[in-house]
Amino acid sequence: MAKIGFIGLGNMGLPMALNLMKAGHEVTGHDIFPAAIEAATNAGLRVDAQAAVQDVDIIITMLPNGKLVLDAYKVILAKANPGTLLIDCSTIDVADARTAHDQAATAGMLSADAPVSGGVGGAAAGTLTFMVGGTDAVFAQAQPVLATMGKKIVHCGSAGAGQAAKICNNMILGISMIAVGEAFVLAEKLGLSHQALYDVASTSSGQCWSLTTYCPVPGPVPTSPANNDYKPGFAAALMLKDLMLSQAAASNAGASTALGEHATEIFRKFVDTGHGGTDFSGIINEIRGKTA
């Protein structure tokens, strides 16, 4: 069993750290937010800023953005032992992820970018999907640890490839949710019932996750956030964050992503008008022009 430091004990990080602890690892957490520290302590996790980075085998970061990850790496790289395995599970810019890898290599550490999909429910259940960027040797070392927090661990390629996979996937998600929302709004105008459109599209070529798992109208998929007043789920602010990361990467790489760009603007308007905390499937109300 490994000694693991876990930095960032928020909505995702705390349940992930607890799953590592349940699997028998010796886990020490760190967070800067008093309520997160209290929740972790109450859940039985040891929290200690120094012990989370010194004399541990592995350090996992689960932070809101790339700047915070690079800031945390300054401390980690100064205090951790050479050879420590650093796994960043945050969703961050591909360029920041590559910088983090370069800095880790310079300091003699091993590193992987390993963003996740599966949300808070997947973090609690230990069923996350991890998208991993890094060398074969690092992946072999990280895989068993990630497997205690997830059910699918995919080696996507070299440094930054995990983040690349994450933002490409979420660009599809943002675009497809808008497409599904537009289809339901058009169906309403044409006098077609939600259930009829669902029954056809869910078994036809329009089938996709945004339709069959997060159906943006109440009824056809009882567990979708639309049935719970669009409570997240996956908040629109996080969708916008990931779309913006996709557009930054597209711009750096010279890729044309016209629909990704348009989806970003649609979600930006939704978030800017006070709906950042609404589930992203609530975008259908923006499309309908009567945002709740």
Q: Which residues are catalytic?
A: 166
Spatial CA neighbour of 2 closest among 65, 90, 83: 83
CB closer to ligand NAD, 90 vs 99: 90
Nearest to 113, CA basis, from 127, 141, 92, 140: 92
Q: Which is nearer to ligand NAD, 162 or 260 (CB)?
A: 162
C-alpha span between 216 and 237 (Å, rounded): 17
The smaller minimum CB distance to ligand NAD, of residues 124 and 192, is found at: 124
Q: What is the nearest approach in angstroms of ligand NAD to the Cβ of residue 194? A: 26
**Residue (29 or 183) nearer to ligand NAD, CB:** 29
- Which DSSP string corresponds to 252-281? HHT---HHHHHHHHHHHHHIIIIITTSBGG
3-state secondary structure of 51: coil
Residue 33 is a binding residue for ligand NAD (CB under 6 A):
yes
23 binds ligand NAD (CB under 6 A): no
- State how far the Cα of 17 lies from the Cα of 28, in Å rounded to an integer: 9
Is position 196 an interface residue for ligand NAD (rule: CB under 6 A)?
A: no
Q: Is the dihedral of CA 73, 171, 224, 132 positive or negative?
A: negative
Closest-CB residue for ligand NAD? 10
- Residue range at the interface with ligand NAD (CB under 6 A); choices 32-40, 133-141, 248-256, 258-266: 32-40
Nearest to 158 by CA among 112, 115, 116, 117: 112
Report the site for ligand NAD in 50-89 (rule: CB under 6 A).
Answer: 62-64, 68, 71-72
Could you list the residues that contact ligand NAD (CB under 6 A)? 7-13, 30-33, 36, 62-64, 68, 71-72, 90-91, 116, 119-120, 234, 238, 241
